[in-house]
Structure 1
C-alpha cells in the first residue's frame, strides 16, 4: 500500500490559508502550546534587555531550570485535579509538612540508629515522605469523594491544617543540615550529572523522539488514519532534537565556581591548571526528576485506562457514572497521586535548601494552579495536558526570575502573578467560547 497522506483541506479553504496556517495544519502543532512558547520567548528576550544581559546567560538559565522543577512536578498532578472539575489548595502546605517530616527523619531520628550520612538514610527518608504525602492525599480524596465535601473546602482546610502541623513538628525550628546523598536531589555542583552523561541523555532523547514519530506514523497507517506529510515529520524531528540538544549545550557551558572546583581538585589530588579547573555542571538531577515525572504522568493521562476515566469524568461526570466508571475511587486516586507528587516536590525543595523550614511551599498552590491554567488546563474541566502545565510552570518561574533580576519588589511580583492568572483564565474562556 502506498504511503500517501490524506488531504486535510478543500480548494476554497486552501486559497484563504496562509503558509503559516498550512504549516500548523500539516505538523498538527497545538496552537495554544505554540502561543505559550512565543510568550516565553518574549519574556526571556524582554527581561534579557531590561536586565542588561543578565537573563539569557548559562548561569541564570541553569538556575531557572532547577527553580522550575518543584512547580512543574506539582502542576502535572494539578492537571488531573482540575480536569475532573476539582481544585487542590493544600499542596503548598502538604509540601511544607512533608518537608518537615523528611527533615526530622534524616536529621534527628535516623542518626540515633544509623549514624550520620548512612547510605540508607536518604532512601528511608524519601520513602517516609512519599508515604506521608500519599496518605494525606488519600485522606482528602476520601473526604471529597465519599463524604461529599467540596474539594475547595477540604483542601482549604488542609491549607490551614497541614501548615499548622508543619510548625508543630519542630515548634517552628528549621531543621539542618541534611544527609549528603539526599542533597543531590536539590541540584548544585554535586547535584548535576556532568557534560558526558548530559550528552548521552540528549542523544537518547533524540533517538526516542525519532522512534516515537516513526511509531506514530506506523500506527496511523495501520488503522488507516490520515498521516502528516513526510516533510512535516522531518521538521518535527529536527525541531525536537534541536530543542533537546540546545538545552544540553546550555547546561554544559555553565561551570562550577572556582572555589568549589579548587576544593574538588584538592580532595581528589588533581593538579589545578593555570586557568583554573573548568568543570561543567550538565543537567541538574532535579530537572531529570521533573522530566521523568512529566513522562510518567503523560503516560498515565494518555495511555492508561485511569487517564481516560479522568478526562471522561471531567467532560461529563453524570455520563461517566452511567458508563460504569467508579468516579469516587478515581477521585480518591487523583488526590492520593497529588499528595505523592507534593512529597516529590518536597524532597526536591528540601534538598535544594539543605534544610526543612516552615515557610516551604508558601503560595505554591497559587503558582501551581496558574501554571496549569496557563498551560491550557480548563477550569471548566475535561481539558488539559501535562506538557502544557510544565511549560506553564516555566513561564511562571521565568516571570519570577526576571522580576528578581530586575529588582522588582515582592508585592509587585505578586500583583504581576495575579494579573497573569486572571488573564490566563480569561483567554481560556475566550478560547472555549470560540471552539463551540
Structure 2
C-alpha cells in the first residue's frame, strides 16, 4: 500500500524553508512543551548533582525519588481531568490523610479487635484497601455532586473539603498515630520487599519496549487507514529507539540499587545462603508504587484519549455551553471526574500509608499544592480544555526532584515551600504566555 502524499511538492517546499531543528520536530511530532520540561528536569538534576558533590544522580537517590514521586504522580493523573473541565480540587491532600487513616484503623484496629481476624491474615490488606477505595469514591461523588448539581464552585467545595477531611482524619483516632500496617499491605510502599527484583524488572522493561513498538506500528497503520499524513520511517524508528532506551535505562538504574547490608544478611540467614567474601548483591529492581503510578498513568491516558467519557471531558473544558448544547450530560461527567479523583487519591493514600508503615494526621499535608503544580507544569491549562497525563506525571517527578534536592542540600522546610510556590507561579505564567502565542 502506498503512503499518502497529497500536496507533496507544496509540503516539501514549506519544509525546506524550516530550519533543521524545526524540520526534526515536525517530522517526529514531539511536543515542544514536553521537551522543555524534560530539559528543565535535566538541568535541575545536574545542578543538584553538582551542588551535592555527586550524591543526587546515584541509583539510590533516583530509586528513592521514583518512590517518593509515585503518590503525587497518581493524584496528578486525575487532577489533569479536573483542571481540564475548568475545575480545581484543593482537598486531595486532606483526602489522602483521611483515607490513609481509614485504611490504617481498618487493618490495625477494627479487623483484629472487632471482627477477630488475626494479624497477618491474607484478607486484611484487601479489606483495608477496599474500604479506603470505597471511602475515597464516596467522598469524590459527594464533592462532585455539590459542584455539578448544586452549582457550588469547585474552589469553595474542595477548600471546605481540605478543612473537613483533615479534621476528620484527626477525629478518627483523636490525633493518635496508627501503626504498624499489615506486612502485605506494606509492599505497596516500596522497600526491599516492595520491589520486584532484577529479573522481573528486565521482563517488565522488555515488555514495555515491545508495547511501545506495537503502539507505533498500530498508530502508523491507523494513519494509513484513514489517509492521515505519516511520519517519516526514520522518525518512527527514532521514537522507538528513544523511548525504549529511556525505559531500559530506568530499569538499569533500578537494578543498580542493592538491598542494605543488614537486610541482605537477614535474608541470607533466613534462606541458609552463604554470603561471599565480597558481599551479596541483591537488586531492588522496580518498586511496586512506581508500577502502580505507571499503571494509573496508562489507564487514565486511555480513559482521556480513547473513550467517549474522555472526549466529553475535553469538550466540556473547551466550551461548556457548546458541550451541553451538543447533548453531553455535563453535570454527570463532572461528577464522574471527581469520583475518579477520589479513587486515585485513595490509591495514593495506600502508597503513602504503606511507605510510612503508619497512618498519621500530617499525611498528605500540602500535597494538593504539589499535585496542582505537577499538572500545571505538565502542560495542563487552568483555562481548561488542554492537558496531558504524561506531562503531569513528569511534572510530579520535577516537583519531587526539587524537594529531594533541597533536602539533600539541607535547605530548611520554609524555604522549600517558598521555592515550590515560586515554581507554581512561574508555571502558570508560562502557561499564560504559551496560550497567548497559540491564539
Q: In which range does the TM-score fall when normalised by the shorter chain?
A: over 0.9
CA distance in 1, matches of 2:169, 2:118: 25
CA 1:5–1:354: 2 relative to 1, 3 Å: farther
Shift of 1:3: 3.1
For 1:374, the equivalent position in structure 2 comes to: 377
Shift of 1:394: 0.5
Query: Normalising to structure 2: TM-score of the pair?
Result: 0.98
Equivalent of residue 152 in structure 1, options 152, 155, 169: 155
CA distance in 2, matches of 1:96, 1:8: 60
1:292 aligns with 2:295: yes
Pairing of 1:26-175 with structure 2 (within 5 A) = 26-112=27-113, 113-175=116-178
Pairing of 1:354-369 with structure 2 (within 5 A) = 354-369=357-372
CA distance in 1, matches of 2:179, 2:421: 33
CA distance in 2, matches of 1:17, 1:323: 40
CA 1:175–1:9: 2 relative to 1, 3 Å: farther
Shift of 1:17: 1.9
For 2:21, the equivalent position in structure 1 comes to: 20
DSSP-derived class of the 2:407 partner: helix
- Runs of 4+ with >2 A deviation: 3-16
Shift of 1:271: 1.2
DSSP-derived class of the 1:77 partner: helix
CA distance in 1, matches of 2:369, 2:408: 22
CA distance in 1, matches of 2:199, 2:164: 46
For 2:221, the equivalent position in structure 1 comes to: 218
Shift of 1:366: 0.6
Q: Which stretch of the first structure deviates more once superposed, 102-111 or 6-15?
A: 6-15
1:404 aligns with 2:407: yes
DSSP-derived class of the 1:110 partner: helix
Contact 1:5 1:228 in 2 (8 A): no
For 1:346, the equivalent position in structure 2 comes to: 349
CA distance in 2, matches of 1:136, 1:26: 45
For 1:322, the equivalent position in structure 2 comes to: 325
CA distance in 2, matches of 1:257, 1:5: 58
Shift of 1:80: 0.4
For 2:249, the equivalent position in structure 1 comes to: 246
Contact 1:81 1:335 in 2 (8 A): yes
For 2:187, the equivalent position in structure 1 comes to: 184
CA distance in 2, matches of 1:20, 1:269: 59
Equivalent of residue 202 in structure 1, options 196, 201, 205: 205
CA distance in 1, matches of 2:179, 2:395: 32
For 1:262, the equivalent position in structure 2 comes to: 265
Report the number of matched residues: 436
CA distance in 2, matches of 1:343, 1:132: 8
Contact 1:130 1:340 in 2 (8 A): yes
CA distance in 2, matches of 1:81, 1:61: 29
Deviations 1:65-110 (A, max 9, x none): 0000011000000000000000000010000000000000000011
Contact 1:248 1:282 in 2 (8 A): yes
CA distance in 2, matches of 1:4, 1:319: 34
For 2:3, the equivalent position in structure 1 comes to: 3
Shift of 1:408: 1.1
CA 1:348–1:8: 2 relative to 1, 3 Å: farther
Q: Which stretch of the first structure deviates more once superposed, 153-162 or 265-274?
A: 265-274
Contact 1:100 1:175 in 2 (8 A): yes
For 2:305, the equivalent position in structure 1 comes to: 302
Shift of 1:13: 3.9
Contact 1:5 1:229 in 2 (8 A): no
Deviations 1:121-142 (A, max 9, x none): 1100100000000000000000
Aligned Cα RMSD in Å?
Answer: 1.1
Deviations 1:325-370 (A, max 9, x none): 0000001101011000010000000000000000000000011000
CA 1:130–1:426: 2 relative to 1, 3 Å: same
For 1:276, the equivalent position in structure 2 comes to: 279
